[in-house]
């Protein structure tokens, strides 16, 4: 069949629906049909799904031009990876529509953690032609016996919303799965779809690994400029607007007219707890919203989530309060308006959310930004300027994640087994593990076969065994079962199911939260007042209550750092404000606050670096304001703490936010001496970072995820397998034993490396310090907390660092009475 004929089939279908293929769609089709891999850079709602579904089907038609409409059960042709479950239904729908239009008898199926076991069993026997799935579910398939059979016909692999996966360990899972597929299917075509990010080229490199000729790779840009209108909601009186806080209820009443003035509104919050609170308070303030408003977040049961999604499609909801669970892809045409509560912390995320509205091509997206504290007004102004300049963030990919690799090796050992010589080459072909050495590989093999050390006759370590022919495999059914339950890289706290007394499921909740409640206590969950009746077998049984809730569950979670792009913009805006050159309404609104800062302390100009010191009942405070974003501040705070501690043994409690950080101590902080000894100098940075990382808790915290991903800690799943009590332990204990007895353990080293790569990233810190070293240091002693210092002072989530002798610290302490 000629190419024009082939393309004609697709054009015909487009024409039937009154559409015309866009340039980037044509381009993608052509590249795909020419056998290339690539990346499609296109925003949500632009037709990107059809850009890649169409050529996969055309390719099939090309192979079977005579009877493509009569072929059934053709085997798995395409794997489509979606980062979140809400996205899968949408793609399924598009694929089914297209299949029908082209007359293909393809099965299109979704496979996620939500899929029933009957679906999973059917797929074990016979795969659909298109499988829409998540990285975790894909690895679960690789953990099945005889999985290679399922991929014998595989033609293409698409990673949708790849920018969302990149920068997480889920992307590493995709890389590993792909390395396996490429070995089985050398002609497999690999495509990514990504929104615009700062490092699009790197994103493509990560997806493809390092074994492709440049001529076989294409980068297609949709170049669709979506019109976005941002409206910042302003407080009536800036003097009464809070200096700190992230919930933002103060301006709740201003959201109501937005909801009523629009067909459907999505209200984005940054955390699940915030979503719960907002939903509750909106209903209380305006009872007429009852029945017209819903809530959507990741801990709510899938049935409720699906219901909300269906109601949105059906235009039966006025408003949905949601978290990032509705960030992606889903094409909710009825959505007219977006409200973002609190800073989105990044330009790319804000654009993504704005793009949820005005979904039709050419429509304008409207997003209302509701600041939760005064300084977020400055962020809003910075955000808009960054958007105008397309100043977008990079997503930093993980490299050398040994935890994910350990998990993957066992996945393969559980299913078909593997030969190390063969597998090593596959793994080295990925971006993540291109630098994996022979020595590290041997260590990993030793770790999974005899627990990391040389073999010892006393030892009964039992996990992966080596068959006489050299094949690595798991023979124990128990090990296999436990491993399958543990696959994944998203680590959460131990979860409990929330169930009504009649047995219906509402969702999951952190065990930690439930453990603080007693039967009879009322809490607010999934948009209702619930009374805890009892805890039974890993389920919290509840009933509805009319009493007022006392608690809202907090899901541990993400405090998003301000991206460095945003930070730079923020410094620029503050500067502008001081120079009197601000036109934006946001900046004018926040001016009284900036003046207050100037009155109490100082507002640093372009060539100044502000340090504030204070003494209160709590102790001695030092605040510094680099305006570099949380991540850099974390590193700088530890570096400053470490350098000060070289002057005298001292213990610090450290708070940080996107604007600066606080060092708090029980003893006077010799900040003047420290400034004299150049603590802000970029000299000896590398050594000092390495010294300070050892005296902090950061690596210990990183190890939590690593221990879980690599299978050291086994939590089971809500409602399943409570038996293994005797092999449950905390990541803390593992961290300690490795630290004490096996310091060269690669998983332990990985924890420190991740800190150095992501938190104490030397290049970013050096850049900041070089900038600061050219600035004049202004040290003030304000008589009260300033608009800058107040949000830091009230922050309860603190890091610690100490160089004092433990016994000396204890001697100054008291028993804590509440537990």
Partner 1 sequence: MTPLEAEVAGEQLWLHPLKGLFWPRENTLMLADLHLGKAAHFRKEGIAVPRQAEQQNLHRLGQLVASFKVERVLFLGDLFHSRYNASWESFGHWMQEFSHIDFELVIGNHDILAPVDYQRVGLKIHQGGLVCGPFLLTHEPLEKPHQKGFNLAGHWHPGARLRGRGRQHLSLPCFYFNRFQGVLPAFGAFTGKMAVKPERGDRIFVVTDQEIMPFSRN
Q: Which residues bind partner 1 (CB under 8 A)?
A: 447, 451-453, 456, 458-464, 476, 478-479, 618-620, 651-653, 664-667, 711-712, 714, 724, 726-727, 729-730, 732-734, 736-738, 740-742, 745, 798, 800, 806-807, 809-819
Residues in the chain: 819
- Residue closer to partner 1 (CB basis): 422 or 455: 455
- Residue closer to partner 1 (CB basis): 227 or 800: 800
- Residue closer to partner 1 (CB basis): 431 or 638: 638
Please give the full DSSP string across 195-225, using - where no structure is assigned.
---TTHHHHHHHHHTT---GGGEEEEE----
Please give the full DSSP string across 69-95, using - where no structure is assigned.
TT-------EEEE-SSHHHHHHHHHHH
- Residue closer to partner 1 (CB basis): 17 or 723: 723
530 touches 543 (CB < 8 A)? yes
Whole-number Å distance between alpha carbons of 401 and 435? 11
762 touches 754 (CB < 8 A)? no
Smallest gap from residue 814 Cβ to partner 1 (A): 6
605 touches 575 (CB < 8 A)? yes
Smallest gap from residue 713 Cβ to partner 1 (A): 8
Smallest gap from residue 666 Cβ to partner 1 (A): 4
Query: What are φ and ψ of residue 168, in 5° steps?
Result: -130, 165
- Residue closer to partner 1 (CB basis): 210 or 616: 616
Tally of CA atoms within 13 A in the half-sphere of 722 that contains its CB: 8
Smallest gap from residue 645 Cβ to partner 1 (A): 14
- Residue closer to partner 1 (CB basis): 268 or 661: 661
Smallest gap from residue 668 Cβ to partner 1 (A): 11
Q: Name beta bridge partners: 218.
A: 38
Smallest gap from residue 456 Cβ to partner 1 (A): 7
- Residue closer to partner 1 (CB basis): 439 or 817: 817
636 touches 685 (CB < 8 A)? no
Smallest gap from residue 730 Cβ to partner 1 (A): 6
82 touches 134 (CB < 8 A)? yes
- Residue closer to partner 1 (CB basis): 290 or 815: 815
Whole-number Å distance between alpha carbons of 231 and 368? 5
Smallest gap from residue 698 Cβ to partner 1 (A): 17
Q: Is 45 left (phi over 0), alpha (psi -120 to 50) or beta?
A: left
What separation in angstroms does the CA of 711 have from each of 556, 705, 706, 761? 21, 10, 8, 27
**What residue ranges in 727-773 does DSSP mark as E strands?**
none
- Determine the straight-line distance between the first and last CA of the chain, rounded to whole angstroms: 75
Query: What are φ and ψ of residue 299, in 5° steps?
Result: -95, -5
791 touches 635 (CB < 8 A)? no
- Residue closer to partner 1 (CB basis): 184 or 737: 737
Edge-first strand listing for the sheet containing 522-525: 505-510, 495-500, 539-544, 528-536, 522-525
- Token pair in block for residue 737: 């034993």
Smallest gap from residue 705 Cβ to partner 1 (A): 16
Smallest gap from residue 424 Cβ to partner 1 (A): 21
Smallest gap from residue 667 Cβ to partner 1 (A): 8
Give SS3 for 612: strand
- Residue closer to partner 1 (CB basis): 23 or 809: 809
- Residue closer to partner 1 (CB basis): 132 or 480: 480
- Token pair in block for residue 375: 């300084």
């Amino acid at each position: 069949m000629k190419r024009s004929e082939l393309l004609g089939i697709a054009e015909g279908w487009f024409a039937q629906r009154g559409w015309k293929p866009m340039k980037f769609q044509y381009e993608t089709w052509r590249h795909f049909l020419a056998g290339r891999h690539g990346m499609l850079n296109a925003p949500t709602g632009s037709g990107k799904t059809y850009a890649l579904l169409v050529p996969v089907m055309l390719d099939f038609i090309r192979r079977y031009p005579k009877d493509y409409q009569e072929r059934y059960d053709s085997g798995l042709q395409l794997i489509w990876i979606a980062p979140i479950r809400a996205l899968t239904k949408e793609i399924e729908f598009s694929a089914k529509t297209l299949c029908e239009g082209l007359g293909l008898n393809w099965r299109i199926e979704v496979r996620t953690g939500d899929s029933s076991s009957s679906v999973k069993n059917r797929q074990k026997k016979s795969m659909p032609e298109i499988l829409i799935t998540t990285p975790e579910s894909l690895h679960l398939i690789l953990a099945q016996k005889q999985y290679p059979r399922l991929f014998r016909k595989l033609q293409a692999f698409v990673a949708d919303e790849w920018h969302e996966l990149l920068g997480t360990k889920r992307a590493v899972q995709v890389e590993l799965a792909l390395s396996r597929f490429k070995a089985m299917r050398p002609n497999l075509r690999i495509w990514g779809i990504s929104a615009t990010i700062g490092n699009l080229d790197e994103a493509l490199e990560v997806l493809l690994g390092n074994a492709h000729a440049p001529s076989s790779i294409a980068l297609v840009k949709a170049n669709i400029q979506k019109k976005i209108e941002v409206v910042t909601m302003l407080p009536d009186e800036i003097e009464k607007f809070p200096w700190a806080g992230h919930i933002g209820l103060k301006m709740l009443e201003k959201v109501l007219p937005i909801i009523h003035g629009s067909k459907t509104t999505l209200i984005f919050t940054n955390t699940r707890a915030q979503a719960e609170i907002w939903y509750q308070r909106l209903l209380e303030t305006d009872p007429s919203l009852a029945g017209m408003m819903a809530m959507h977040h990741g801990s709510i049961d899938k049935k409720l989530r699906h219901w909300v999604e269906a109601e949105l499609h059906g235009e039966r909801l006025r408003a949905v309060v949601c978290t990032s669970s509705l960030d992606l892809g889903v094409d909710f045409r009825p959505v007219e308006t977006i409200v973002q509560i609190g800073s989105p912390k990044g330009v790319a995320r804000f654009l993504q959310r704005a793009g949820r509205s005005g979904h039709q091509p050419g429509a304008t997206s409207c997003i209302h930004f509701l600041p939760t504290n005064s300084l977020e007004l400055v962020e809003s102004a910075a955000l808009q300027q960054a958007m105008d300049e397309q100043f977008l963030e990079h997503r930093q990919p993980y490299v050398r994640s040994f935890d994910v690799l350990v998990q993957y090796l066992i996945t393969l050992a559980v299913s078909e087994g593997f030969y190390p010589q063969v597998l090593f080459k596959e793994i080295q072909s990925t971006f993540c593990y291109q630098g994996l050495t022979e020595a590290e590989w041997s260590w990993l093999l030793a770790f999974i076969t005899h627990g990391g050390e040389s073999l010892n006759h006393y030892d009964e370590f039992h996990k992966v065994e080596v068959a006489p022919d050299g094949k690595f495999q798991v023979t124990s059914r128990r090990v296999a079962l436990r491993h399958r339950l543990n696959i994944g890289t998203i680590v959460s706290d131990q979860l409990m199911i929330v169930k009504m007394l009649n047995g219906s499921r509402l969702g999951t909740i952190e065990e930690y939260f439930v453990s603080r409640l007693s039967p009879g206590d009322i809490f607010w969950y999934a948009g209702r007042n619930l009374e805890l009746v009892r805890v039974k077998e890993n389920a919290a049984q509840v009933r509805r209550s009319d009493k007022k809730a006392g608690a809202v569950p907090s899901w541990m979670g993400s405090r998003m750092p301000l991206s460095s792009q945003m930070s730079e913009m923020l410094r620029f805006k503050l500067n502008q404000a001081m120079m009197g050159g601000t036109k934006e309404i946001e900046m004018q609104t926040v001016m009284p606050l900036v003046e207050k800062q100037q009155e109490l302390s100082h507002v640093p100009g372009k060539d100044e670096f502000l340090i504030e010191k204070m003494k209160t009942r709590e102790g001695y405070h030092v605040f510094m304001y680099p305006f570099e974003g949380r991540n850099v501040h974390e590193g700088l705070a530890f570096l400053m703490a470490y350098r000060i501690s070289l002057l005298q043994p001292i213990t610090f409690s450290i708070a940080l936010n996107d604007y600066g950080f606080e060092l708090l101590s029980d003893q006077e902080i010799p900040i003047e001496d420290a400034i004299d000894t150049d603590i802000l100098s970029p000299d000896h940075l590398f050594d000092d970072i390495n010294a300070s990382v050892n005296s902090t808790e950061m690596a210990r915290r990183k190890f939590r995820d690593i221990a879980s991903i690599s299978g050291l800690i086994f939590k089971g799943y809500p409602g399943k397998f409570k038996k293994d009590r005797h092999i449950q332990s905390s990541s803390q204990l593992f961290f300690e034993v490795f630290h004490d007895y096996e310091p060269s353990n690669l998983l332990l080293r990985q924890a420190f490396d991740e800190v150095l790569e992501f938190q104490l990233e030397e290049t970013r810190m050096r850049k900041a310090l070089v900038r600061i070293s050219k600035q004049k240091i202004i040290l003030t002693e304000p008589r009260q907390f300033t608009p800058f210092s107040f949000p830091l002072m009230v922050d309860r989530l603190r890091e610690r660092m100490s160089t004092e002798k433990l016994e000396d610290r204890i001697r100054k302490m008291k028993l804590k009475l509440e537990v």
